[in-house]
Amino acid sequence: MPDKDAGTPRVFLVRHGETEWSISGRYTGRSDIPLTANGEAQVSTSAKVIVGVGKIIDPSRVAHLFISPRSRAQRTFDILFDGDSQKQLEEKRETTEDIREWEYGAYEGLLTAQIRSARKEKGLDEAKPWNIWTDGCENGESPGEVTARLDSIIAKIREIQGPCMHGEKGVDVVLIAHGHILRAFTKRWIGFELSRSLPMMLEPGAVGVLSYEHHKVDEPAFLLGVNMGTES
């Protein structure tokens, strides 16, 4: 069947590689935990497959990059793009707190079980277990606060991509960030409240893809499958 959405701009969600805290499941927000050796290898493997001229992420077709200021995200950028690509993308690269990880506040460095136990001792969550998507974090961010900063990025992306819905020029966008915030971004991309259930997984070093249906900027969508061959 014909590819009715060929040329439509895309948004690539890149989760940083593995860290010691991601292995253990500890909530990692502002803590600047470096990539493990395996985490660097994860990103390098992804880069070889999907980054380069004629590949899924072609630096010549990237209009903008939003990168978290945490070192694990910055290092992921350094591994994902080679030196020539980095020079090509230098003026398009934006390090911004708007795509940092969820601010976990009192829950930084804890496991989900520890958070729920601590909240239970305070008499919280009697009706249902703690859920970050609805309850947010003590001394950290609420779902509403996260929504506000992600919506600002989405507005910028739509402004960049809106005039080029039929591939008039390359306006792909890359986000390099963290597990929770990229899943939150996906919900907001398709207009879901963060409280709305949408089970998602994004492994360390992996890449997700968002786009639009029918070449329309007001029809944002998941891109469930991406052809791994050469781009036309």
Rounded CA separation 158/162 (Å): 5
> Is residue 104 annotated as involved in ligand binding?
yes
Residue tagged 């992804």 (tokens)? 46
What is the distance between the alpha carbons of residues 197 and 165, in angstroms, rounded to a whole number? 29
72 is in an annotated binding site: yes
Q: Is 101 a catalytic residue?
A: yes
Q: Which residue of the set 16, 64, 178, 180 is catalytic?
A: 16
Is 103 labelled as part of a ligand binding site?
Answer: yes
* Helix, strand, coil share (%) of the chain residues, nearest 5: 40, 15, 45
Has 189 been labeled as part of a binding site? no
The question of whether 178 is a catalytic residue gets the answer no
Partner residues linked to 212 by β-bridges: 220
Q: Which residues pair with 207 in a beta bridge?
A: 14
Question: Annotation-wise, does 168 bind a ligand?
Answer: no
Q: Is 52 annotated as a binding residue?
A: no
Which candidate in 18, 40, 64, 101 is catalytic? 101
- DSSP class of residue 7? T
CA atoms of 225 and 49, how far apart (whole Å): 15
Binding residues are 28-29, 72, 101-104
Residues that are catalytic? 16, 101
Show binding-site residues for substrate.
28-29, 72, 101-104
